[in-house]
Amino acid sequence: MKVELVKVTTEDARVLNGAFLEPAQEKNEVPGVDVFLMMHGNGGNFYQDFYVEFAENFARMGCASVRANNRGHDVVNKVTDTFMFCGVAYERPHECLMDYGAWIGWLVEQGYKNIVLWGHSRGAVKTVYYQAHKNDSRLKGCIVGSPPWLSYSRFIKSKQADKFLEYYRLAQKLVEEGNPNGTFWTDLPTYYVAGAQCYLEKYGPDEKLNIFKYLDQIKSPVLALTGTEEVAHRFAFDELDKEFDKFAQQMPNLKHVSIPGAYHFYKDEKDFVFKAVLDWLKTI
């Protein structure tokens, strides 16, 4: 299969790289989709393994895909030809609008008309955020795979409230001391290196990344995926499946699939997920 390295430039001049996988056969057997735009999660990047198997399966069926970076790739990354840094430690919620918009625009320029946006983990959160704010008609649908439920009000009522607030106050202290880009290790809501100002903006009382603030604003079809083991054992995913089920009762454009036995990366469940995606595509 032929993979081509591609890149886009956002409206604020950020260069983002990706991998375009062309179809392996002329006939497209994927229902109603020309191309998938696949977005990584927390600190990930376009060359991680997670999407490769899905992308290759779609290519065998005659459908193209792009595995794309957004500016939240890796923990910290250097912005090309500047002294600025980004990455998951420093990205801000609203910036995904420019990142996702640039990639969708590039696909349209290549002649694609039926695009499905598939975000995983933090990329799924950004997928909800993007489509709720833009309701981009160029998207045939959205797949949100295992998004964390990032909710300050939930966190401070949880069994780990004291620990979460300890991190939150540390971020506040760094900002108050004039060090908004100061970083620290945290395992709540997920394990990574966080920039202080970024941490406050992502996980504060405004709940800017709470997917359930935005989900019902999306007009396009949405497929939500959750893993039963992850929901049962991980802090930021507690009761995620139940909340999706609740929204699905009120949103005819939302379908939720619970993946039996799955953790975050669907290690042994990729065939199940691939079939679930194809079955959903047939309905939209």
The pLDDT value given to residue 86:
87
What's the confidence (pLDDT) of residue 79?
76
Name the strands in the sheet holding 15-21, side by side, starting at the edge strand that comes first in the sequence.
3-9, 15-21, 64-68, 35-39, 115-120, 139-145, 222-227, 254-259
Taking 70 as the pLDDT cut, the residues of the chain under it are: 81-83
Q: Do 96 and 231 fall into the same domain?
A: yes
- Same structural domain for residues 33 and 173? no
User: 3-class DSSP state for residue 183?
Assistant: strand
246 and 160 in a common domain: no
Q: Could you tell me if 188 and 232 lie in one domain?
A: no
Distance CA 180, CA 90 (A): 10
* pLDDT the model gives residue 111: 97
Together in a domain, 76 and 203:
no
How many domains, the chain?
2
Do 67 and 170 lie in a common domain? no
What pLDDT sits at residue 85? 82
Note the pLDDT of residue 82. Answer: 67
Are residues 194 and 213 located together in one domain of the fold? Answer: no
115 and 249 in a single domain? The answer is yes
**DSSP letter for each residue of 124-149:** HHHHHHHHHHH--TTEEEEEEES---
DSSP E strand boundaries for the chain: 3-9, 15-21, 35-39, 64-68, 77-78, 85-86, 115-120, 139-145, 183-186, 192-195, 222-227, 254-259
Are 35 and 140 in contact by the 8 Å Cβ rule? The answer is no
The answer to whether 164 and 188 have CB atoms below 8 angstroms apart is yes
pLDDT at site 87: 87
Specify the length of the chain in residues. 284
For residues 28 and 121, membership in a common domain is answered with yes
CA distances from 119 to 18, 116, 130, 223 (A): 14, 10, 11, 11
- Residue pair 129/117 in contact (Cβ under 8 Å)? The answer is no
Answer for the pair 204, 126: CB distance below 8 angstroms, yes or no: no
Side-chain half-sphere exposure of 145, counting CA atoms within 13 A: 26
- Kindly report the backbone phi and psi dihedral angles of residue 67, in degrees, each rounded to the nearest multiple of 5, phi listed first: -95, 115
Domain span at residue 167? 152-207
